[in-house]
Copies of this chain bind each other. A is one copy, B any other.
């Protein structure tokens, strides 16, 4: 807990340029958030005192405190008078918060964590597809169809294609008419986004994902919950397989529960 202050003129703690958009406290939170999630500060560590740290970052104490409040709201840290601001154990982190996800994927993503996310997808999304098949209305189907068309037109290699993919999954979650699941959409969507980029980075996209998505759409349109659930299950499994191989561990699958 020491010479962080000296490093300021270097690169590490340089004040983010915050070109018109993000506010100062926001970029501070981002910086510290990434540092925590990536392990620079381990759980249990005590951050330097407010005065020291804010001076090291060359920001006012107020801005720094606001950043800490945001981190505290996401369960990353906890500050108590006299005790200082302490990094909380990983179990308390709000790992499904979109910002935290962003920070987690800012550096090299932890492979185990990616696997965990896919495991969660494999649980939630098939069920969601089933509910969607029962509850979707004309509008949902229209959005799904449109997203699918856009995925066809652009490929997943383009930003537009990835947005379409995300819209597709979002629309399914929304069609469940379940707020709690819709919240997971933001998280899962973010995760999908990031992992998709990793697949691209490995610049080997062995599989054409359109047919998988099309099967899910057909089942939902037909109102067949069981088929939709199964089709989504296949989709997620294949996506994991692609991602895993892109991350260097081919052959990974998730054992199915009957």
Could you tell me which A residues sit within 8 Å of B by CB distance?
25, 29, 62, 65-67, 69-75, 90-99, 113, 116-117, 119-120, 123-124, 127-128, 130-131, 134, 174, 178-184, 186, 225-226, 229, 255, 257-258
Contacts and interface: CB of A to CB of B under 8 A. Distances in A.
A113 to B, nearest CB: 6
Interface centre among A74, A91, A127, A183 (most CB of B within 10 A): A183
Given A257-B130, A258-B226, A179 B116 contact: yes
A96 B70 CA distance: 16
A95 B123 CA distance: 19
Given A97-B94, A179-B113, A229-B257, A123 B124 contact: yes
A182 B91 contact: yes
A215 to B, nearest CB: 17
A119 B73 contact: no
B229 A120 contact: no
Contacts of A67: 69
B226 A95 contact: no
29 contacts: A70-B70, A70-B72, A71-B73, A73-B74, A73-B97, A91-B174, A91-B182, A91-B183, A93-B183, A94-B94, A94-B97, A94-B183, A95-B180, A95-B183, A96-B180, A96-B183, A113-B179, A113-B180, A116-B179, A116-B181, A119-B178, A120-B178, A123-B123, A123-B127, A127-B257, A130-B257, A134-B255, A226-B258, A229-B257
A120 B74 contact: no
Contacts of A97: 73, 94, 97
A105 B183 CA distance: 17
A120 B69 contact: no
A257 to B, nearest CB: 5
